[in-house]
Amino acid sequence: MSENNIRKIEFAVTAEDDGKTVGEFLRKSGASRRLITKLKRCSGGITLNGEPARTVDIVHKGDTAAVKMQSGEPLDVNPDLRAPVVYEDDDVAVYDKPVDMPVHPSHRHRFDTLGNLFSAQHGDMTFRPINRLDKDTSGLCAVAKNSFAAARLSGSIEKTYFAVVCGKLSGSGRIDAPIGRYAGSVITREVRADGQRAVTNYTVIDGNEKYTLVRIKLETGRTHQIRVHFSHIGHPLAGDDMYGGDISDTAFQALHCGELEFALPVSGKQIHLSSPIREDMLRLIRK
């Protein structure tokens, strides 16, 4: 195992876990079965008190079990890209992604993505985005630096979005409508009876006769969920022409991931991050 981009995480065995196998203890500590299986094939991937260990070995109070991981599937690098880093440690980096930047490369976007920037900053680390944002959605995007962190963070990040929707809304609401793929399209989604359940909660913050700024919390995470749901209730996002939004006042969809809250993968410490709503979105409700 090369010494480049290696992350070693140690776990102290307490009386509660005395007598468990190494495999059982690591799974309880947050390591996925997939990661443990992968590390079993690596020399020194799993250790107990500094010595190579098998998953069937027994741990005792006072022991230290450790996993040693190497990340090594980089994307093409592009150091000319810019996205502020709002938080970073050995396991996770959180970027404030600008509008008009895809998160992951595709056949149409090979070198202009957050992944290309991450690879330029972190050598041969694998790019593992946890909350993926659409190209024209701005805001906070968490990236795990190793497979342990990815498993711990996946599905556990609390996200708050802010959107400017067309028309006048008041109060708060809950949209509970299933979402599925639009017939004949790979990308477009729609509300349909045979879709997956999707629930969006919103609270109005401010607005005028033409636009409304809303704060959004999701109970599910379907593709294009916010965009589809607000279009479904007759208030599509400003700038979102795919789902019927008015594009006369903005060139980009008015959607921003403004808050993230999560527990750090190893220590469990709660982290709360915020990013200010884009100025071009705020201008819409001042008109």
> What pLDDT score was predicted for residue 120?
94
Contact criterion met (CB below 8 Å) for 63 and 13: yes
Give residue 14's pLDDT.
95
* Residue 110 near residue 81 (C-beta atoms within 8 A): no
- The reported pLDDT for the residue numbered 67 is 92
Exposed, middle or buried by CB within 10 Å (0-12, 13-18, 19+), for 114?
buried
Given this model, what pLDDT does residue 38 score? Answer: 82
Per-residue model confidence as pLDDT tens for the chain (287 residues):
445 568 899 999 999 999 999 999 999 998 888 889 888 887 788 999 999 999 999 999 999 999 988 766 678 899 999 999 999 999 999 999 999 999 998 878 889 999 999 999 998 789 999 998 999 999 999 999 999 999 999 989 999 999 999 999 999 999 999 999 998 888 999 999 999 999 999 999 999 999 999 999 999 999 999 999 999 999 999 999 999 999 999 989 999 999 999 999 999 999 999 999 999 999 999 97
Give residue 3's pLDDT: 52
Active site residues: 134
Length of the chain (residues): 287
Decide: helix, strand or coil at residue 128: strand
User: Which residue's entry shows tokens 């963070």?
Assistant: 153
For 264, the token pair is 């750090």
3-state SS string over 30-82? CCCHHHHHHHHCCCCCEEECCEECCCCCECCCCCEEEEEEECCCCCCCCCCCC
Give the whole-angstrom CA distance, residue 235 versus residue 181: 20
Give the CA radius of gyration of the chain: 22
Domains of the chain: 6-70 (3.10.290.10), 71-155 (3.30.2350.10), 159-256 (3.30.2350.10)
DSSP string, 117-137: HHHHHSTTPPPEESS---TT-
Alpha carbons 273 and 157: distance in angstroms, whole number: 11
